[in-house]
Structure 1
């Protein structure tokens, strides 16, 4: 049996919890950023017929460009300084500012009090934690701890804090790690994990839209080490201490510095807005307001294969309708009677790696 390794707590805030708490966290996430509700169009049908349906997944990403305040609740000043310096390395890859403050409110609150466990809430789940409590903990960092261990743990936990999940729970990891399950259960039991903890934190995978990458990345900073003694045959993954190329590209795609606007306001009946899905995985977000009940036609135009989703009223997490190809060519088109209130439209490319220009507009249907 391999020596016990120090990894995230099995009960990581934001990765586990009651269904009601998860629903509350989902609401917070979609208030922070409309496109945290990602829409995937699925097509299936008997006899070659195509039926369009949609799957939804709530991510926990911060608003792009956001200043995220971080504060230490306790700990040794030497350890605090090292954690801060390494955490801020994420700023080179994401359009976010980690602002370490000593007083007042903070979204990320860091403690060292829970010895033996390191963990972090995932992205916007930090906003659901009472203001007096930690959202991140480092349970074994000391002034004498090696720089390599600081880099491994701090980069990993701040990856969670910015919205990343564990890489071995990427659905693309299914079948890639030949786990010897009885040995895995026995191994983690020595760290106080139950069978349910292991199932939830090791074997359970997320849906496609919530993953860090489109392919399994064994070199990700979010990947646990996998000892050869816990797998069938000869297979192991060592300790990752640096950002992988896919870690960097994921953060750049989710928090781009250029090419992805914030929420754009549309006006009913106004001229169409020209836009561009300039990077892979980009989701463009629009908002419009109705002062009275109106039957609206919402559509994209152009040569780009777009997926159009309607959110609201007054709740960006509520998806009212999704369309892929009902407009001209490969464009999305939604016609719906809507009451007074605020609404949002999100536009993405049908292909995960697709790009292209399009226009979007909202108008009232005549008659």
Structure 2
């Protein structure tokens, strides 16, 4: 059953809570320079800290999705927010490498536990509005982007010993999630119940997941290397590289918000397919077109990567209407880990050749993702059926490639 009242309030609370939780997705990587400086971690040891958080989080996230498919667990939202924050807050004060790995892994588990239930709750509160889901996704992206600023403000001032202050977003996020649960309960349905009737379309879901993997590799690869690449291309030093990274993140925020609105008007698959085409062309511009125009192509790449971000989630949920939690866990977690695993390959290729040569394969991945989307049907949102799909301008029959 959908939430009937105050959907705007519930989505707002969930979006803000999402921002607070996803601070901890970006916080671990932001702490790495401080671990190296204060604890003399090697680059390999520092990479191990990031891997402990991100890989474990991504792997267990589908498991939490499967659990939320069996039982509604709204209490998991505030608890997971606190768990995610506690691990990061403790990472600066524990006194051994093994304990550091342990606490950041705990943080990763907290983040993993949050997303499937939160995505399901947001979908129920959104009443099928892709714009509302876009705002929910935007919250997470904003939190991720703000993490380096927050970590630097706290740790650069007080050292790693000040890391317990990083618990503040978790406490705020837990309060927001608890308020979202109460708001949803006041609307007549528990947070987390949003499944519809219909059969699971695993074939379409796996093809969609393959496209998301392609998107993930491009995004993570550019996030890791675009700053260095733009510095090489423009000769502008650290400022030019940082500016390119800011363009990538700011463009992502705009793209996420725009994606939901475009989908409400034109249909999800239409928007997603065009976004993959835009991404391929834009990445080619980043790699091949010389001069300051690289910033324009970075912005276009960012928009292309982020416009389909929330649409991937709702499409996955609708392809697996009986396993909404599993679909949310995979589209938000497992596929993202592949992007992280592929990044060292890009780095190794750059060491062997050049950074520009290493980025060339990224041009092909949006093309591959677009091919995987060919022939997919627009699924009817749970409980709305084909009539609802037609009312929103979407066609349930197979769209052209």
TM bucket (normalised to shorter chain) is: under 0.3
Q: TM-score, normalised by structure 1?
A: 0.27
Larger strand percent: 1
Structure possessing the higher radius of gyration over alpha carbons: 1
Bigger RCO of structures 1 and 2 (CA < 8 A, at least 6 apart): 2
Larger helix percent: 2
Q: TM-score, normalised by structure 2?
A: 0.26
